[in-house]
Amino acid sequence: MKILSVKSLAMPDVKVVRYARFRDERGYFTELFRRSDFGGLPELSFLHGVQFSQFNESFSRANVIRGLHFQWNPYMGKLVRTSLGRMIDLVLDIRQDSPTYGRIVAYDMPARHTDDYGEWIWVPPGFAHGNVFTEPTQIVYLCSGEYSPGCEAGISPLTADLDWSACDPALKAIFDRAAAGPTMSDKDRNGLTLSAWGSDPRRENFVFGRC
């Protein structure tokens, strides 16, 4: 797997891994994942020791908003990529005592077959994860924990008490247009507010420096 770059977003624990595609007149070939690289390369040290136990695929139509989801017992980190279409990934810091608690960022991840690279985004435990889609889109993601019913919760991406100050204004504008009439599950639409999460006893599962 040829790693081109690794960068942090506004929350330093959230990483974007860019990897090479090898193109010719036929199309391209790429390695999406190699265990030895993810467990051994110095630039991927944040993934050393992470064991992926579940591999998910999701398809969403245009104007769909999903999230913001998180899980404990076991914790679930997610390594996410767009395989078809355009995903704008949403990541919210829910760790008590974190300097970026309540801050949400967005990252634009279209899948263009003409690009010489692809990207993974790493959303570690301690962050709520969601997406907004501008066109029919398929995503895939590796999870570091298996789904655990009863040990999950969600914060509504529509709640007014999120801190969008670190978000690219252009991506926030795309989100706002979708949020004016989104296709969402009732569960996501009626998720917790940030203030409700801040007084929920389950918040103690996510403390800065301990998850």
Any idea which residues carry the catalytic annotation?
Answer: 69, 141
Kindly report the CATH number assigned to the domain that includes residue 64. 2.60.120.10
CA distance 86 to 10: 21
Summarised one tens digit per residue, pLDDT across range 49-102 is 999 999 999 999 999 999 999 999 999 999 999 999 999 999 999 999 999 999
DSSP codes joined into one string, 148-208? -TTSEEEB-TT-TT-B-TTS-HHHHHHHHHHHTS-B--HHHHT-B-HHHHHT-GGGGG-BT
Residue 88 lies in a domain: yes
How many distinct structural domains can be found in the chain? 1
Containing structural domain, residue 191:
3-204
Residue 118 lies in a domain: yes
Summarised one tens digit per residue, pLDDT across range 113-135 is 899 999 999 999 999 999 999 99
Q: What is the pTM of this model?
A: 0.94
Residue 54 lies in a domain: yes
Residue 175 lies in a domain: yes
Residue 58 lies in a domain: yes
